[in-house]
Amino acid sequence: MGYAQAYSFKYSPRPGTPGATMAAQVPDAVKIERLHRLQDLLDRQQTAFNFSCVGKVIPVLFERQGRHSGQLVGRTPYLQAVHVTADSSLLGRIVEVAIERVDANSLAGAVIAAEHVSA
């Protein structure tokens, strides 16, 4: 199975939990090395998934304005960030977006048509 996105952390003992008092705890250096290996794999899977989206039309929920004038940022059903140039009237709406490219940590695309907008 591949992942479009995942959040991963090394194990940290929590006071009062059974795991916190177990003998033979995994050394921190081993936890860090395992986490790095996992995150490298997840990064490769996320990149592959993002590139597989190029050329597809995906519904995007627009959440906020972007850093650039006229830019909106939204999320796909897979929680990928998507940047488009569009009017702020689309905020809070789900809009069909043609994905055009993959950026470092997001996708970029173009709104298909206003009539595809849903409230």
pLDDT digits (tens, 9 = 90+) for 49-71: 999 999 999 999 999 998 989 89
Backbone angles phi, psi at 108, to 5 degrees: -130, 145
Q: Is the pTM of this model over 0.85?
A: no
CA 73 remoteness from chain centre: 12
pLDDT at 77: 94
Q: What ranges do the domains of the chain cover?
A: 1-53, 54-116
Does CATH place domain 54-116 in 2.40.50.140? yes
Provide the percentage of residues in the chain whose pLDDT is more than 70. 95
25 vs 31: CA distance, rounded Å: 10
Alpha helices in the chain (DSSP H): 28-53
pLDDT of 118 over the 60 cut: no
Provide the pLDDT for residue 4: 85
C-alpha 55: how far from chain center: 18
- Give the pair of three-digit tokens for residue 83: 């940047």
